[in-house]
Amino acid sequence: MKIETLRWFNNRLEMIDQRILPAAFEYLSYDSAASVAEGIRSMVVRGAPAIGVAAAYGVALEALRLSQHLPPGRGKDGMGVDSVNDSTPTLALPDGATSQSTKPASGQVAGYLQGGWDVDFNAGMEEGFKVLAASRPTAVNLFWALQRMRKVWESVAAQSPQQTAQRLLAEAHEILAEDIRINKAMGTNGAALLKDGARVLTHCNAGALATAGWGTALGVFRSAVEAGKKISVIADETRPFLQGARLTAWEMVQENIPVTLITDNMAGHLMAQGEVDAVVVGTDRVAANGDVANKIGTYMVAVLARRHNIPFYVACPLSTIDLSIATGKDIPIEERSVEEVKGFRDCHWAAEGVKIRNPAFDVTPAELVTGLITEKGVILQPDAQGIRKLFG
């Protein structure tokens, strides 16, 4: 089944609401930078590459929204600039989902600047960039995408707002398509590392749902299966938001790839019993020295893998490597709401009044990483020198 985590439909961005999977399948519709930022913050969309793509569309949507308040622009040929028409097909309802619909995102707002022809386009765009940048601090793809969109915006500053909006939308479309191409290249490179019959453990969700399609870590599994290898996946449930249980397991079931779900505290036991051949995870940010920030609990898995001599691989597009961050100690770690630890949805299990911590990510030192799987190849025993070569 082809999973379209994000899609452009009827001049709106639509994103699968990952908070309700696998019980229900639903797209939410977004029409502004503010609404996309809220979708990122509330984890309707998550995973560093998907967040980056969403942010790019958030910028384009804000430009489209603001440009609607201004007189139509005229291109060099004298023709007016129209909005893009879309012919994206509707995704078929996955097996097991109870519903599929598209509705406006909860909390969607019209934007920052309202009114008639006096809307300040540039000020509105700056505010759009600002609110998107504040949505989630750890995922470097967010800032990579915003920087790329800002460069495009600045390059067409002499054009009308309508022309600018169309150029930004075209760039967002390209970022989405590029993400899928990169994921498939990583998948091919990573699949070569897995032996036929491998039992591979993964943490959190680094699949199609975390990207524009295909996936990073789960993309490696998809590519291995496409290459004719028989692999099986062990998915940590990934407390507290249960991305492994709700999302990774669901994706693998949709693909008919054998998957076994375990609680996070079972990983060490399975490794000790010889039931894990490799670990492949994704990442939200990699420092210049190869330290890896990923979903909380990844460091624990890496330590266990090293103890049991199991290779620990990280699937990582180059856009996730942050050369401005020297080491993992400098990576900002998001602290999320304590409500996520108290319970899930309508079920609560924590005692009232108990002190709770909820860091969303941890940092795995480069020394525990067997290899970084990128679209340009695999860096074994990653370090600053090896990473710099990728950007040479």
State the catalytic residues: 284
DSSP per-residue codes, 34-83: HHHHHHHHTTSS-SHHHHHHHHHHHHHHHHHHHHTTSPPPB-TTSPBPPP
- Say if residues 341 and 356 touch (Cβ distance below 8 Å): yes
CA gyration radius, the chain: 21
104 token code pair: 């406006």
Helix (H, G, I), strand (E, B) or coil at 340: helix
Tokens of 159: 């054009």
Strand (E) or helix (H) holding 187: helix 161-191
Tokens at residue 108, please?
């969607």
Residue 201 bridge partners (DSSP):
234, 279
- Enter the DSSP assignment of 368: G
Residues 6 or more apart in contact with residue 19 via CB below 8 angstroms? 42, 43, 44
What's the rounded Cα separation, in Å, for the pair 70 and 49? Answer: 33
Q: E strands along 181-338, which residues?
A: 199-202, 232-236, 259-262, 278-281, 285-287, 292-295, 312-315, 321-322
Strands 199-202 and 278-281: parallel
Q: How far apart are CA 320 and CA 79, in angstroms?
A: 40
**For the stretch 205-229, what's the b/e string if a residue is b when 16 or more beta carbons lie within 10 angstroms of its beta carbon?**
bbbbbbbbbbbbbbbbbbbbbeeeb
Contact call for residues 195 and 207 (beta carbons, < 8 A): no
